[in-house]
Amino acid sequence: MKSFATILFLCLLGIVFLVPDVSAQTISQSFEIGKISKKFVHIPVKTGAPKTWITVNIDGVKQHEFEVELAPENPDFFATLEVGQWMGKKLTLIAEKVTSGSKWLDMIKPSDLMSDESLVYKEELRPQFHFAPRRGWTNDPNGLFFYKGTYHLFFQHNPWGTAWGNMTWGHAVSKDLLHWNEGSDAVLPDRNGVVFSGSGLVDWNNTSGLQTKPVKDKKGIITNPPLVVFHTSIDADRGKGKACQSLNYSLDQGKTWINYPGNPVIPHLIGGNRDPKVFWYSDKKNAGSPNAGHWVMALYLDGQDYALFSSANLINWEKVCDIKNVGCSECPDMFELPVDGNNQNLRWVFWGGDGKYLIGSFNGKEFTKESGPFTTKYGGNDYAAQSYSDIPASDGRRIQFSWMAGGEYPKMPFNQQFTVPRNMTLRTTADGIRLFMEPARELEKLRISKFPDFSATLSGTENPIKVPGLKGDLLDIEMVIALKSNPSDTLATLTAEIFSQKIVYNPGLGRIELAGIKAPLAPVNNQLKLRLVLDRTSIELFANDGVVQIAKCFVNNDKGPANLIISGKKDMADVRITAWQLKPVWERLKK
């Protein structure tokens, strides 16, 4: 029983605990704040504890609900509910089923801080330059767009636990694609359901009319266009119902997001129809007109089938094209790229969730396949990639993030991470036009020290070569290998190993492996180029300028210095290595 002084103190704060009947095995419990005066409420979470649904009511009106492993005691971490938009109003949290004797009510913490700031970004298995959420689970990157010098990154987020669930959109912003400031969740479940994957854009000409007070500069350019994100809503039965497509928008440069009252803009069509990717198609024949073009939505339908939709205003959509048998499902992306950097020779890429893609042409309505499907994914931890919209023409890059699906982060208060940002290009190869991926140039800004260059000639598998001087677990390593052996020799292999992650290349078979993940790779001019990017919990391999890339998560149990060991058949190859130590991105945020 609480003391009279404690009860008086809580009453003065406006906080009331409704004490349940403890005779029941599971009971409903409520937490109240009579008058909200703090921005956040931190809720105790214990991974593995029984799950319960919590309903969020403001002045007696339900706002949303979520499922959480509510800590009965000794929480693993605190999940954050933002309530600052309801200052002065009454908050009631109703936990549907709670085990008798649970002490969660005693551990709730109203606060003006977003989370346990003394601990966040300092965890043992925290990726040091790959994005991972402050707390909770993440999967697909969503809503990637660039606006006024800022990269916006949304992500599938379960703020209430380290497993998939409670799908919302988290939100982070960056000036350089590396140092991210994560804010509150931007898009929350609403009457249409939980929030699955989608995309984002800048409506530069206010075609949607969502900006009711547009401001124009002297050239007639709108200086406050609406920012718009599209997502799939899964309605009914707590996220187990049918899917439809919804939009949210911001009129304050992405600080707050408004549910469009006319949602859904596309109702349920078929199967799991989801993951809308929306972009502007420019009509080059009428390039002088400010609205010369229209919006296009690529949408996954069912099986291996997708469709394209067209709209003049982002609100009303018409189906214009089917794209069938892509060879994969979910998470479409679609973009145009020059071939070999030649802007007079352009192709469209249609991309699916597991990295398979088609190359073709697009006239604004019909996509015509020329070749494919090809793949950039051969296994490993890489899924649901999405590329940025609205990168300035002066930059011209097509930048992509992907979810490093399936990684493990034991006992961490967060789960899953993204790849490094990757730049995509189309290049001509002996096999035809193919998509290449390389780390975005921004990654090089993290290089803090260069190790001495190293070169050697392989002298047999019984004489492995250890590359001296490497230290730390944050590394960027470039290897150039001049092959000497007959490429038809299928027994000749080159092996490199670091932190127990083994890379094997067999020129006779034309194949490279990372940790057992196999991909076809032919030498170019009898030469092999590899780039390895190592973080605390991952390794990414880019081969021959990115014609092959493999992403792999692992838990590094080797606490010693980095040992890069290379071996191969005698006189097989000359090896040249250039390597840098990288710095973490979170230091700036800790200050």
> Which tokens go with 468?
């001296």
Quote the CA–CA distance of 373 and 355 in Å, as a whole number: 10
Q: How many residues does the chain have?
A: 591
User: In whole angstroms, what is the distance from residue 485 CA to residue 19 CA?
Assistant: 77
Could you give the C-alpha distances from 389 to 311, 400, 445, in angstroms and in order? 17, 10, 23
Rounded-to-integer distance, Cα 170 and Cα 186, Å = 6
The helix (H) or strand (E) run that includes residue 7 is: helix 4-13
Q: Identify the active-site residue in 76, 140, 333, 571.
A: 140
- E-strand ranges in 431-510 read 432-439, 447-450, 454-457, 465-467, 475-483, 494-498, 501-506
**Phi, psi angles (nearest 5°) of residue 106:** -75, -20
**Catalytic residue flag (residue 431):** no
Q: Which of 578, 503, 585 is nearest to 548 (CA)?
A: 503
- What separation in angstroms does the CA of 417 have from each of 186, 407, 456? 19, 8, 35
Q: Where are the alpha helices (DSSP H) in 203-303?
A: none
E strand or H helix at 587: helix 587-590
Contact status, residue 452 vs residue 469, Cβ threshold 8 Å: yes
Strand pairing category for 305-311 and 475-483? unpaired
Are 436 and 545 spatial neighbours (Cβ–Cβ below 8 Å)?
Answer: yes
Least Cα distance to 360 among 378, 386, 339, 381 occurs for 339
A 10 A CB-CB count for 9 gives 12
Residues carrying an active site annotation: 140
